[in-house]
Amino acid sequence: MRKRKKTFIADLTPLLDVVFILLFLVMMVTTRSQAERTQQAEAAAEEAVADAREARREADDALARAAELETLLKDARVAEVSLSDNEDGGRRLTVTDGSETSSYAFDWEGVEEARAFLQRELARVVRSAPADAPVFLIFRYDPAGVYESDYRLVTGVFDAIQKINDNVYLQIREGQHE
């Protein structure tokens, strides 16, 4: 008697069903991921465009302000007042306005004349500026070589000039005159 060979026939239909279901799920997840990524990319692009427009507006505003300042500062005047000790024991006030320098030496008795000199020179600087052009007054002094009364003399004149002129700006710098 001859034995029959057992034949095994595999039914691949359920396996194919599972493979197709898995393929369908992968395609759905990939499509959803792509849609989400597309939405995120579009949102990021819109945000970048909005940021670029805002940066452009800020740059335009900055350029307009710079042009205004350039126009305003074109006629500006700058004067520097320095207060120092003389070799003879007195003090010296020096007013420098651009290329013009005027100087006044004084001692204890000449304080009022020094005040008048400083008022006259700073008034000249303010008058030389066009109307509404800014005038910058800089007071430079060496704190080790200046008496407090001399310091108050100069700052008092500065304050008086600034009170009657809206376009005058003050700056006080410690340090020796360069």
Structure tokens given for 170? 């003050």
Residue that finishes a domain, picked among 72, 89, 106? 72
- The answer to the question of residue 6 being in a domain is no
Does residue 164 form part of some domain? yes
CA atoms in the 13 A half-sphere facing the CB of 148: 0
57: in domain: yes
Cα–Cα distance, 137 to 51 (Å, whole number):
42
* pLDDT of residue 10 exceeding 80: no
pLDDT greater than 60 at residue 177: no
pLDDT above 70: residue 100: yes
Same domain as 91, residue 163: yes
Residue type, 50: A
> What would the two tokens of residue 95 be?
């007013």
Whether 54 maps to a domain, the answer reads yes
Q: Are residues 108 and 162 located together in one domain of the fold?
A: yes
Do 82 and 163 lie in one domain? The reply is: yes
Helix (H/G/I), strand (E/B), else coil: 46: helix
Q: Give domain status of residue 2, yes or no.
A: no
User: Looking at the predicted structure, is the pLDDT value of residue 1 above 70?
Assistant: no
Amino acid at site 134: P
Do both 61 and 42 map to the same domain? yes
Is 68 in the same domain as 90?
A: no
Q: Are residues 80 and 68 in the same domain?
A: no
Confidence label for 2 from pLDDT (cuts 50, 70 and 90): low
Please tell me whether residues 125 and 68 are part of one structural domain. Answer: no
**Whether residue 100 sits in one domain with residue 142:** yes
Pairing outcome for strands 100-106 and 168-174? unpaired
Whether 66 and 86 map to the same domain: the answer is no
Are 67 and 81 within one domain? no
- Whether 48 maps to a domain, the answer reads yes
Question: Looking at the domain assignment, is residue 3 inside a domain?
Answer: no
Separation in Å, CA 142 to CA 11, 25, 147, 151, 174: 104, 83, 10, 10, 6
Distance (Å, whole) CA 29 – CA 105 = 91
Mean pLDDT value of segment 81-105: 83
Average pLDDT, the chain: 83
Q: What is the C-alpha to C-alpha distance for residues 85 and 176, in angstroms, rounded to an integer?
A: 11
- Spatial CA neighbour of 161 closest among 113, 124, 110, 112: 124
58 with 143, same domain?
Answer: no
CA distance 26 to 142: 81
How far does the chain reach from its first CA to its final CA, in angstroms? 126
Looking at this protein, which amino acid is placed at residue 104? Y
pLDDT tens-digit series, residues 19-65? 888 888 888 877 777 778 888 889 999 999 999 999 999 999 999 98
Higher pLDDT, 167 or 10: 167
Triad 134, 70, 158: Cα angle to 5°: 15
pTM of the model: 0.58
**Are 84 and 167 within one domain?**
yes
* Full residue range of the structural domain in which residue 136 is found: 75-174
Q: Is 21 a domain residue?
A: yes
Residue 178 has pLDDT above 60, yes or no: no
